[in-house]
Amino acid sequence: MDDSDEEYLSGITPSSRFSSIVPESPRSKEGVSTRTRARKSGTTDDNLKGNNGGYSWEDEYQRSWDIVKDDDQQGSFESMVQQIIENRKKKIMKNPATPFQRGIIRTLVIVIDGSNSMAEKDLRPTRLTLSLNYCIDFIIEFFDQNPISQLGIVLMRNGVAHLVSEVSGSPQYHIDKLRQLKIRQHNKFEPSGDASLQNALEMARALLKFNFGTTSNNTKNSKEVLMIYGSLFTSDPGDIHKTIQSLVKDEIKVSIIGLSAQVAICQEIVNRTNHEPKLSRSKHYGVILNESHFKELLMDFVTPLALTEKEKQEEASLNNGVPIIKMGFPSKVQPIVTSTIGNTDFTVEFPQLNASFPTQGSDESKDVVEVNTNTTLLSSTTIGYQCPQCKSRVTNLPTICPVCGLMLILSTHLARSYHHLIPLAPYKEVPIAESYDSEYCYGCQLKFPRGVKPGTHPGVLESMTSSRYRCFKCTNDFCINCDVFVHETLHNCPGCENN
Amino acid sequence: MEAISDRLFNEHTTDNLQDDPSLLTIILDVSPSGWFKIQNVISIQDVVKSLIVYLNSHLSLNNSNQVAFLITSPLKSKFLYPKLDNSNIIKDSVSKDMYRQFKIVDDIILEELNQFLNEMIDKIENNKRSTLTGAISLGLTYTNRMLTLDQSILTTTASAMTTTSLANSNQNSSNITSSSSTSMKSRMLIISANDDDDELTYIPLMNCIFAAQKMKVSIDVAKLGFKNSSYLQQASDATNGIYLHIENPKGLIQVLSTAFFIEPNLRPFIILPANSNVNYRASCFITGKAVDIGYVCSVCLCIMSKLPEKCPACNSEFDKKIIEQLNRVPQIRKKRKLESNGNGNNENNNN
Ligand SMILES: [Zn+2]
Ligand SMILES: [Zn+2]
Ligand SMILES: [Zn+2]
Ligand SMILES: [Zn+2]
């Protein structure tokens, strides 16, 4: 408690006074509360409260070792088992998302602040760590709800923009990159320097442009930037207003989540790129109040952006059903390069590129931003996917065929959401008995504990649970690990697939 | 450009080059129709011989390496190795001519395989779909256990549970990956001679692909027979695996011990034989046939090869105007220009 208070009061950096709407230092208690009062009207009071019903800075400091309950020996095992079972049920019962339109290609670039200000400990453990954790959650949710969308991640640090992960449709790829970043946040990528809005936005613009060759047909796609911004100023190499203009021209919509206080330039970026009146309060620019509010703001961006007025009218004019989209499933074409050594022709067959990580592991992944280099040009003309309708080639999926306008997509992108369509029925726990039919888990071949007479061995695992979870379709028994794995990750029942 | 563009991670793949143990899961598809067609070229016997050599060489690379062997047929899929009750085989597995681990694996697999084939001959019926997806699912659940839990085969649930509770506690923030507590690597090899893609169940296969992606399990495919399998190609392509259509399976052992022998994390450094084309065809929800141009419901994203009034999967009604446009007058919307050669459009000149 004492420690963190000292941080609070002494944490006023000279830089934080620039270009902030709130003249007070945001970390002094007064500054924060004026800001929150100003923003209160939009949200309900409950959202502003921390765990104890007060504001988060009034909460008692929670040490991680206090959360772990110090049970006496007997109860601990039982409660552990109970907890595991509870967890399992909670996970499986988690409702599949309510249906809404998933057929929109969103391309999103997440910009994370990695400047000095992110080392602040007003979010626990630090702003950066918490932001990275929330981003991982966000990515999982994002791809769950937007299966045919793509995203990329950029980090602002030392006045430049760093590419963390390229624009790609694979959640795992982004999560791995964020994990790497998290691991090294103390020895290599610790928050440092200033943030540069211009550099980051220019890089985001390049990423979004590079991945969308055509702007002619954007009814089914949107280009977005989501920025998590902890600093209170920006140090730019040029005129940021020019960057804003180009963003508007390229129809890129920027949303910002501020971690400290409202900043005028952020407000302007958001208002201009979202075509809102100047200095109006926008739902695309939020300043967080506490951890849970941060998460709430972030998760709001999972659902596709609302339609603008013009688009709404179009929608209403033909609103008599759900749109149906024609799509093509292209085949991947790999280049065959022949070279001549002596008098013999050699055919070089290139190693396979992974479809879901279009450029991972290949040469051009290293210099995807340097559009001018030869390698990029060479590879973009040779490796590609062929439109099944007009046979023209594109390098990146999903996209819209520049020649015939067919939406091109990998079938694996669509299939990502299919487990919502055909949900797997939950397994039921087998009641405790003296003996069971099954000796081994059908999925992983794990040996089950043997049955015991009820009441003979109190406190022993076998007398509290049968450890067997049965699929009622195929009547096979599974262990708790397989149960969770099958319902969480695999979405197939191995037993049912075998009948 | 350089001032604003700086990559965070340039040194990719160098971190994970340690000599970690690895799990190799082999799935052998013994669907009779496929093997019947190539009976003049190679028999199951020959293939199994090669596979056993392959397994043994994998075991000899690192003495913590693990193998699993699954068999799949239209009847069912089954683990041959590890075998649950293997006490009598282990008893007489001591031989002065052979490394013990080799002998255990070889004996169990051959014995179980013979038993399985005999069983299959009695029971097989026609018109049953392949259970390959079941075998992959089994392989993945087993892999999941090997990656996250205690690895000894006879461990009971109690000891496994302690590990799970640990895994569970940090899954709050990261429930998409099974947090791997060990540094086990894993890959899967499917040997199939089945030429009929439509026998595979599409959605379960896709689910398997995503699970494999999340677990970082590469799916390698050795396709015998006459045709490429588009779905298996997608499986290996999406999981960073190798797909090879082996037209001359007599040399199978050579292919196994070269292309398929390299650990996935070393593959970026080696130029491997590659497929020139991967066909990313999808499966129609109504007919079950593979399609390369289809209609997609924008609510649930199910794929259809023809235009129904209502979505067969989520039951939402489609916009009649759009259906009309797609059906009859493709020229009305600029982007539908070149559509005229598909799906039986008769009135092309209505501008
Ligand atoms: Zn085309
Ligand atoms: Zn199990
Ligand atoms: Zn089942
Ligand atoms: Zn539907």
Question: What does the radius of gyration of chain B's CA atoms come to, in whole angstroms?
Answer: 24
Most confident of A126-135, A485-494, B27-36: A126-135
State residue A255's pLDDT score. 93
Q: Identify the residue with better confidence: A319 or B119.
A: B119
B315: CA distance to ligand 4 center in Å?
6
In sequence order, what are the beta bridge partners of A399?
Answer: A408
Q: Identify the residue with better confidence: A419 or A10.
A: A419
Best CA proximity match to A471, nearest among A438, A434, A433: A438
CB B59 within 8 A of CB B98: no
Reply yes or no on whether the pLDDT at A269 is more than 90.
Answer: yes
* Secondary structure (3-state) at A167: strand
B144: CA distance to ligand 2 center in Å?
9
Strand order in the sheet with B66-72: B77-81, B66-72, B22-29, B185-192, B218-223, B243-245
A156: CA distance to ligand 3 center in Å?
48
CA A287/CA A297 separation, integer angstroms: 9
Reply yes or no on whether the pLDDT at A145 is more than 50.
Answer: yes
Exposed (0-12), middle (13-18) or buried (19+): which is A349, by Cβ within 10 Å?
middle
| Chain B from 26 to 65: CB within 8 A of any A CB | none
Which of chain A's residues have a Cβ under 8 Å away from the Cβ of B157?
446-449, 461, 467, 479-480
CB neighbourhood size of B265 (10 A): 19
Q: What is the mean pLDDT of residues B179-206?
A: 79
Alpha-carbon separation of residue A358 from B77, B171, B330 (angstroms): 34, 28, 32
Place of tokens 């969103």: A106
CB B323 within 8 A of CB B339: no
Under DSSP, the state recorded for A474 is T
Per-residue pLDDT of A158-181, as tens digits, reads 988 999 998 888 888 899 899 989
Q: Prior bond to B264 cis, omega within 30?
A: no
CB A447 within 8 A of CB B156: yes
Reply yes or no on whether the pLDDT at B160 is more than 50.
Answer: no
Please give the backbone phi and psi of residue A354, each rounded to the nearest 5 degrees, phi first.
Answer: -80, 135
Distance from CA of A16 to the nearest CA of B (A): 23
State residue A211's pLDDT score. 54
Q: Would you call A83 and B165 a contact, using CB atoms and an 8 Å cutoff?
A: yes
- Tokens (6 digits) for A369: 């931003």
State residue A242's pLDDT score. 92
State residue B331's pLDDT score. 55
Q: Is B324 on the interface with A (CB under 8 A)?
A: no
Q: Is B125 on the interface with A (CB under 8 A)?
A: no
Under DSSP, the state recorded for A254 is E
Best CA proximity match to B291, nearest among B302, B278, B304: B304
State residue B216's pLDDT score. 86
Q: What is the mean pLDDT of residues A401-430?
A: 80
* Secondary structure (3-state) at B186: strand
Q: Would you call B303 and A411 a contact, using CB atoms and an 8 Å cutoff?
A: yes
A443: CA distance to ligand 3 center in Å?
10
Q: Would you call A491 and B207 a contact, using CB atoms and an 8 Å cutoff?
A: yes
Per-residue pLDDT of B213-230, as tens digits, reads 888 899 999 998 888 888
B312: CA distance to ligand 4 center in Å?
7
Reply yes or no on whether the pLDDT at B179 is more than 70.
Answer: no
State residue B138's pLDDT score. 94
Place of tokens 């090669």: B50
State residue A131's pLDDT score. 94
Chain B CA closest to residue A418: B203
Chain A CA closest to residue B259: A351
* DSSP conformation letters of A345-400: EEEEEPPPPPSSSTTTTSGGGTTSS-TTSHHHHHHHHHSEEE-TTT--EESSSSEE
- Tokens (6 digits) for A387: 């439109």
- Which of B145, B156, B323 comes nearest A324 by C-beta? B323
Please give the backbone phi and psi of residue A225, each rounded to the nearest 5 degrees, phi first.
Answer: -125, 130
Place of tokens 């626990």: A124
To the nearest whole percent, how much of chain B has pLDDT over 70? 73
CA A145/CA A151 separation, integer angstroms: 13
Q: Would you call B207 and A336 a contact, using CB atoms and an 8 Å cutoff?
A: no
Q: Would you call B161 and A461 a contact, using CB atoms and an 8 Å cutoff?
A: yes
| Size of the A and B interface in Cβ pairs below 8 Å | 368
- Which of A163, A323, A389 comes nearest B322 by C-beta? A323
Q: Where are the domains of chain B?
A: 20-159+181-271, 290-350
Exposed (0-12), middle (13-18) or buried (19+): which is A281, by Cβ within 10 Å?
middle
Which contiguous run of DSSP H or E holds residue B219?
A: strand B218-223
CB A393 within 8 A of CB A384: yes
Lowest mean pLDDT of A318-332, A353-367, A395-409, B319-333, name the range: A353-367
Distance from CA of A327 to the nearest CA of B (A): 5
- Tokens (6 digits) for A393: 């080639």
To the nearest whole percent, how much of chain A has pLDDT over 90? 20
Domains of chain A: 2-64 (no CATH), 97-306 (3.40.50.410), 327-356+375-412 (no CATH), 428-498 (3.30.40.10)
B131: CA distance to ligand 3 center in Å?
13
Class of domain B20-159+181-271: alpha beta
Reply yes or no on whether the pLDDT at A197 is more than 70.
Answer: yes
Reply yes or no on whether the pLDDT at B174 is more than 60.
Answer: no
State residue B196's pLDDT score. 79
Q: Is B208 on the interface with A (CB under 8 A)?
A: yes
pLDDT confidence of A277, banded at 50, 70, 90? Answer: confident
Per-residue pLDDT of B295-306, as tens digits, reads 888 777 888 888
- Tokens (6 digits) for A199: 């550099």
Under DSSP, the state recorded for A442 is T
The ligand minimizing its distance to the Cα of B337 is 1
Q: What is the pTM for the complete model shown?
A: 0.71
State residue A78's pLDDT score. 61
pLDDT confidence of B342, banded at 50, 70, 90? Answer: very low
Q: What is the mean pLDDT of residues A297-322?
A: 63
State residue A30's pLDDT score. 42
Lowest mean pLDDT of A366-370, A410-414, B1-5, B305-309, name the range: A366-370
Chain A CA closest to residue B79: A445
State residue A380's pLDDT score. 35
B78: CA distance to ligand 4 center in Å?
35
Reply yes or no on whether the pLDDT at B175 is more than 60.
Answer: no
Interface predicted TM-score of the whole assembly (ipTM), two decimals: 0.79
Best CA proximity match to B4, nearest among A454, A290, A111: A111
CB B330 within 8 A of CB B337: yes
pLDDT confidence of A359, banded at 50, 70, 90? Answer: very low
- Which of B79, B211, B277 comes nearest A333 by C-beta? B277
Lowest mean pLDDT of A26-30, A482-486, B33-37, B97-101, name the range: A26-30
Reply yes or no on whether the pLDDT at B116 is more than 80.
Answer: yes
State residue A132's pLDDT score. 94
Q: Is B309 on the interface with A (CB under 8 A)?
A: no
* DSSP conformation letters of B337-349: GGGGGSTT-----
> Over chain B, what is the mean pLDDT?
76
Q: Is B287 on the interface with A (CB under 8 A)?
A: no
Beta strands in A68-159 (DSSP E): 105-113, 150-157
